[in-house]
Amino acid sequence: MRLSARGYHRVLRVARTLADLDGCDRIGRLHLAEALSYRALADDQRRAA
């Protein structure tokens, strides 16, 4: 996805939040996948505008 360092940390922050909401101590693959999907969705919306 060509993430910059800033983008990488933003995705990790969202994934950490998702893991917290699930009550997990660690970030799992599903949390990362969901965080990346939100980023991809935002990118698609920006391109459409």
Burial zone of 35 (CB within 10 Å; 0-12 exposed, 13-18 middle, 19+ buried): buried
What's residue 25's pLDDT?
97
pTM of the entire predicted model: 0.83
pLDDT tens for residues 1-49?
789 999 999 999 999 999 999 999 999 999 999 999 998 877 777 788 7
**C-alpha to C-alpha distance for 19 and 7, rounded to whole angstroms:** 18
Structure tokens belonging to residue 32: 């990362």
Q: Which range marks the domain in which residue 25 is found?
A: 5-48
What's residue 14's pLDDT?
97
Count the domains in the chain. Answer: 1
What's residue 2's pLDDT?
85
Cα 11 versus chain centre, distance: 4
